[in-house]
């Protein structure tokens, strides 16, 4: 099994997400020696080994004690019972033969099962650590220190922040480090990396709130999040009791969130702030009076949010087979462009009306008959606009099986498409968003109630 498969297996077996940090601060030791640091860690391991999903020794505290400290670190790792993963918190980052030496040091000389790495030097600096799939890698993504925003929050030309690009680059083969003090960033990372294991330090002494961290970072299966706690356990009057209480609180929030859309959490507030979603009374094209109105054309004026919206499509698209994106005019054109830039897929789009001059094309962009395209749109309501576009695409020899939207209004589109042999995939349903706004108090309860009543009336 790979490292992350082993992590999944142990998490399911012991029903715990607790990662116990082994940080032997000199102030906590009876003497400033390597032997004292070793014994301090081994005692903590003995008290918590049936509760810990993993252990995370911090290399710096051992290195500061010289050669004897390095030997003590090796003894501590060897002292962890078999079957419990050890994540070496070393934050290495270098290239070529130096990176290879760091990998041998962590995995062969010390015997660690995984390591934290700084991805700033690029993919080739990570390669030596990825050669053995039985070993794991956690990339620093959005860290808990106040100065992390200096670089990690920088907005790239794609519209993504730097830490979001790291989350995308990690794929499914690497874990990520996101501070528990950054729940909004944690939710964004979970949306971009729905299957990844996330190491979340900062609960307790650094101010991270456990429940907020779990809400933002859990996978749909209730796993995928390592809650790293050091001082709140080691400095407790009864460390075992402290660990037990943390496990209890984790388990209360750990049940699978089948209806939850992780990708929707970081977008929900932005959609309100940019008036992409408004509450009131609005006459729809159908003639119905709706208490909620969604207009994603406003995204073009908010490049950062547009980039986040584009990124939210990526996990869904990566699970599908296709050759090109086919964007529906007009609202989906900027969205699909953001998706294309971030995912690297070529894009075409069917015109609402054929050109009356020049090529008289109905489809803009390069394509070849026989290729499979995935239809990209902003919303799904009844599905009628999708059928019109699909007819144009199939009329020139393209194949269509899937439609991907940001929001499913739950007004029959999924069922209508399925009846014609097409699959609808949505980043979020309207119900998902209403639940999020209720949980964070961003929308008045009466408005949410009216929206839900309208959904029930229209078949949602």
> How many of the other CB atoms lie within 10 Å of CB of 140?
21
Does residue 321 carry a catalytic annotation? no
Q: Give me the pLDDT at residue 354, please.
A: 65
Q: Give me the pLDDT at residue 206, please.
A: 66
Name the H helices within 158-293: 162-170, 183-192, 210-217, 231-234, 239-252, 265-273
Mean pLDDT within 94-120: 96
Active-site residue among 6, 56, 74, 91? 91
pTM of the model: 0.65
Q: At what angle do helices 303-317 and 183-192 cross, to 10 degrees?
A: 40
Q: Which of 390, 432, 438 is nearest to 407 (CA)?
A: 432
Structure tokens at 70: 């390095």
Structure tokens at 72: 């003590």
Q: Give me the pLDDT at residue 371, please.
A: 96
As a whole number of angstroms, the distance between CA 254 and CA 33 comes to 40
CB contact at 8 A, 408 and 414: yes
Least confident of 164-168, 323-327, 400-404: 164-168
How many residues does this entry show for the chain?
A: 460
Instruction: Report the mean per-residue pLDDT for the chain.
Output: 90
DSSP result, 346-381: -EEEE-SS--SSTT--SEES---TT-EEEEEEEEES
Q: Give me the pLDDT at residue 256, please.
A: 46
Q: Which residues pair with 290 in a beta bridge?
A: 282
Q: Give me the pLDDT at residue 258, please.
A: 42
> How many of the other CB atoms lie within 10 Å of CB of 174?
25
Q: Give me the pLDDT at residue 355, please.
A: 60
Q: Which of 440, 422, 383 is nearest to 264 (CA)?
A: 440
As a whole number of angstroms, the distance between CA 377 and CA 194 comes to 21
Mean pLDDT within 320-333: 94
As a whole number of angstroms, the distance between CA 445 and CA 83 comes to 48
pLDDT digits (tens, 9 = 90+) for 252-307: 766 544 444 556 667 888 999 999 999 999 987 767 789 999 999 999 999 888 98
Q: Give me the pLDDT at residue 262, please.
A: 59
As a whole number of angstroms, the distance between CA 434 and CA 456 comes to 13
As a whole number of angstroms, the distance between CA 293 and CA 52 comes to 47
Q: Give me the pLDDT at residue 117, please.
A: 97
Give the pairing of strands 225-229 and 198-201.
Answer: parallel
Query: Given a cut of 90, is residue 250 above it in pLDDT?
Result: no
Per-residue pLDDT band at 1 (split at 50, 70, 90): confident
């Amino acid at each position: 099994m790979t490292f992350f498969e082993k992590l999944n297996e142990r998490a399911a077996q012991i029903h715990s997400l607790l990662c116990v940090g082994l940080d032997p601060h000199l102030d906590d030791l009876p003497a400033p020696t390597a032997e004292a640091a070793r014994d301090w860690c081994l005692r903590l391991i003995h008290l918590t080994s049936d509760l810990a999903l993993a252990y995370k020794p911090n290399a710096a505290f051992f290195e500061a004690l010289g050669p004897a400290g390095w030997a003590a670190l090796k003894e501590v790792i060897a002292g962890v019972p078999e079957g419990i993963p050890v994540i070496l918190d070393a934050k290495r980052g270098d290239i070529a033969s130096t990176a290879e030496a760091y990998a041998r040091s962590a995995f062969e000389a010390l015997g660690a099962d995984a390591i934290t790495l700084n991805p700033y030097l690029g993919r080739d600096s990570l390669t030596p650590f990825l050669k053995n799939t039985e070993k794991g890698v956690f990339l620093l993504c959005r860290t808990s220190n106040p100065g992390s925003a200096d670089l990690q929050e920088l907005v790239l030309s794609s519209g993504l922040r730097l830490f979001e690009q790291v989350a995308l680059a990690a794929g499914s083969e690497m874990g990520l480090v996101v501070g528990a003090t950054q729940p909004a960033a944690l939710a964004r990372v979970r949306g971009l990396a729905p299957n990844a294991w996330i190491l979340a330090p900062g609960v307790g002494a650094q101010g991270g709130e456990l429940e907020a961290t779990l809400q933002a970072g859990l996978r749909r299966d209730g796993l995928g999040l390592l809650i790293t706690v050091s001082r709140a356990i080691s400095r407790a009057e009864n460390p075992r009791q402290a660990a037990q209480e943390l496990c209890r609180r984790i388990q209360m929030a750990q049940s699978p969130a089948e209806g939850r859309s992780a990708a929707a959490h970081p977008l929900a507030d932005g959609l309100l702030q940019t008036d992409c979603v408004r509450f009131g009374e609005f006459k729809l094209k159908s003639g119905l009076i709706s208490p909620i109105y969604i207009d994603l054309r406003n995204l073009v004026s908010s490049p950062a949010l547009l980039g986040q919206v584009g990124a939210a499509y990526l996990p869904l698209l990566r699970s599908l087979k296709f050759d090109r994106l086919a964007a529906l005019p007009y609202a989906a054109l900027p969205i699909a462009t953001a998706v294309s830039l971030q995912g690297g897929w070529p894009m075409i789009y069917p015109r609402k009306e054929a050109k009356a001059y020049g090529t008289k094309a109905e489809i803009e962009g390069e394509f070849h008959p026989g290729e499979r395209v995935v239809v990209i749109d902003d919303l799904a309501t009844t599905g009628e606009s999708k059928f019109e576009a699909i007819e144009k695409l199939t009329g020139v020899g393209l194949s269509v099986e899937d439609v991907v939207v940001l929001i499913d209004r739950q007004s029959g589109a999924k069922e209508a498409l399925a009846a014609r042999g097409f699959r609808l995939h949505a980043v979020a349903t309207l119900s998902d968003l209403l639940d999020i706004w209720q949980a964070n108090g961003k929308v008045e309860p009466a408005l949410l109630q009216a929206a839900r009543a309208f959904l029930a009336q229209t078949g949602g």
